[in-house]
Structure 1
């Protein structure tokens, strides 16, 4: 009987629940995929090429032209890029973008705090309810959020000025998005307290994957919550933090919708960002070739920064060899192996 079983094992190997004939040496013979399968992917690549790759490549091509969609375009070489070097509004827009990025990264403390509090709930139903309430705002369209905050900031009938008037602080009422000194700050706080979003989901799922023994050992050793977050939680979430940085870089470089709805880049270019500069040059100024050069430069910067973040090497704790004796202060967790 044993010989029969061994013979069957050498003849067939079960892969993914279905037997496949084995070749010499017990190797599984791969089935050839018919050409029809690849042909089925052809429409997908055609659509990607038509609506994704062609616009991007054509934008690069037209960045070397004084492009006129109606006709009569002339080749200008690098003139658009030379002009870009002296465009102070364009480079100032990156300063605003840097402020937005730093502010968004600092505000990750709110989803981190929410996730840390939620992970301590022992009642599963309560955790599910709170988690759902924190995630539901993600389903709201971005334009709805922008318009709601536009109403909050309205200088005449806005909520913020009305509250200041009601508490006797009417002197602090502002034209929040119409004053160059407060416009950018007003944009930064749109969406406060910034919990409902992808950072919360990534941080919360990462905390769920941390072994409970680490939390228990830290608690027995008297490690406070804040110290535990700094010494254990954040290092163990290093790879997830890298993903958040990548998404933050790409998302910030593509930022512009909220600024377009609330300020349009004004007043006095106080809230202009690269995307708005490109749109203004193209649709308001009719300078399509120059707008193409700006968008090409923005694409190159996005690609370069994305590569830096993605290839930023840091040895994650999960990649390190596990010491059979893990010391947390005076507490030792000894391996049972």
Structure 2
């Protein structure tokens, strides 16, 4: 038996090489003049962000008088800085503030764990909204409210102590050196309405459901799950929070300025307030520029160390995975 094959059928059934060839996507050509639309934004950023920083570095070598002739001093402002005891003691206060802020992460972490444990999605949404809404309040309002709490005469704290028969504990919380810094640390208690809570909660939400179900089948309790699953999976987010806490602490000063202005007896002095006092009260703008330049260099060094550490950590993790 002879089988005849239609050549035309073969030509249509067997795809040719030209038909299998995938066309490379065309590169979109963007005209150079379209980037001119970014020019106004670049000018604004340069003038309001980069120019003040560069200007501060320049004037830090002068006895700067904005409304008069300035005298070049070389490194005299920086030499004066090394003998400024108030300046260096302000960094000790920053260290205390940083350690306290890290320890205070217990509260937003506990709130995130309790919130993620709610089975009702509606209750989760309601409680999450109530915990986040205070972030919309202006910082000056929060500081002034806490200033009313700490008022020595009719403050909420002293009135509550008197109502409980503890008049001996009532005092001027922000007016004496022994309690002023501690009072500033507790502004915003219980510290839930903030970035740490959002990061912890979003990290817990991103834990795969399969991992949690497997842990439940293995009989892992809630406390054991926190140590064995939740906390290890949040390690990268915690490192980001540490970096943000360092940078945020170096820029701390708003609450202290509103409530204590760095006093009493410099007990709540921080670098930002020291720069403000030197410039606006002492009139030494060049020395203030030297202090701000030093703080800027410290921030850059810490940021670079954190970035290098994160890259090494990520490269080590990728190498271990391979």
Partner of 2:47: 50
User: How far apart, CA to CA, are the structure 2 residues paired with 1:238 and 1:170?
Assistant: 45
Given that 1:239 and 1:316 are in contact with CA atoms closer than 8 Å, whether structure 2 keeps it comes out as: no
Farther off after superposition, 51-60 or 227-236: 227-236
Count residues in correspondence: 308
Q: Deviations over 1:117-166 (max 9, x none)?
A: 11111111110000000000000000000000000000001000000000
Partner of 1:210: 207
TM-score (normalised: structure 2): 0.90
User: How far apart, CA to CA, are the structure 2 residues paired with 1:76 and 1:155?
Assistant: 46
The 3 A distance-change label for structure 1 pair 318 and 79 is: closer
User: How far apart, CA to CA, are the structure 2 residues paired with 1:9 and 1:38?
Assistant: 38
Given that 1:67 and 1:74 are in contact with CA atoms closer than 8 Å, whether structure 2 keeps it comes out as: yes
User: How far apart, CA to CA, are the structure 1 residues paired with 2:123 and 2:27?
Assistant: 49
Displacement, 1:303?
1.0
Q: Deviations over 1:230-281 (max 9, x none)?
A: 2221211121111111111111100000000000000000000000000000
User: How far apart, CA to CA, are the structure 2 residues paired with 1:8 and 1:50?
Assistant: 56
- Which structure would you say has the larger RCO, counting Cα contacts within 8 Å and 6 or more residues apart? 2
Does residue 283 of the first structure (1) align with residue 287 of the second (2)? no
TM-score (normalised: structure 1): 0.86
Secondary structure of 1:50's partner?
Answer: helix
Given that 1:64 and 1:78 are in contact with CA atoms closer than 8 Å, whether structure 2 keeps it comes out as: yes
Partner of 2:313: 314
Displacement, 1:29?
2.7
Partner of 1:14: none
Quick check: which one's helix share is greater? 2
Given that 1:236 and 1:316 are in contact with CA atoms closer than 8 Å, whether structure 2 keeps it comes out as: no
User: How far apart, CA to CA, are the structure 2 residues paired with 1:316 and 1:149?
Assistant: 45
User: How far apart, CA to CA, are the structure 2 residues paired with 1:36 and 1:279?
Assistant: 43
Displacement, 1:314?
2.8
Gaps of 5+ in 2: 1-11
Secondary structure of 2:147's partner?
Answer: helix
Quick check: which one's strand share is greater? 1
The 3 A distance-change label for structure 1 pair 2 and 298 is: farther
- Describe how 1:162-173 pairs up with structure 2 within 5 A: 162-173=159-170
Farther off after superposition, 299-308 or 161-170: 299-308
The 3 A distance-change label for structure 1 pair 61 and 8 is: farther
Partner of 2:70: 73
Gaps of 5+ in 1: 12-25, 323-337
- Describe how 1:122-141 pairs up with structure 2 within 5 A: 122-141=119-138
Aligned match for 1:257, one of 231, 254, 273 = 254
Secondary structure of 1:181's partner?
Answer: helix
The 3 A distance-change label for structure 1 pair 127 and 172 is: same
User: How far apart, CA to CA, are the structure 2 residues paired with 1:71 and 1:301?
Assistant: 31
User: How far apart, CA to CA, are the structure 2 residues paired with 1:27 and 1:316?
Assistant: 32
The 3 A distance-change label for structure 1 pair 8 and 140 is: farther
- Describe how 1:258-273 pairs up with structure 2 within 5 A: 258-273=255-270
The CA RMSD over aligned residues, in Å, is 2.1
- Describe how 1:138-157 pairs up with structure 2 within 5 A: 138-157=135-154
User: How far apart, CA to CA, are the structure 2 residues paired with 1:245 and 1:6?
Assistant: 56
Farther off after superposition, 283-292 or 239-248: 239-248
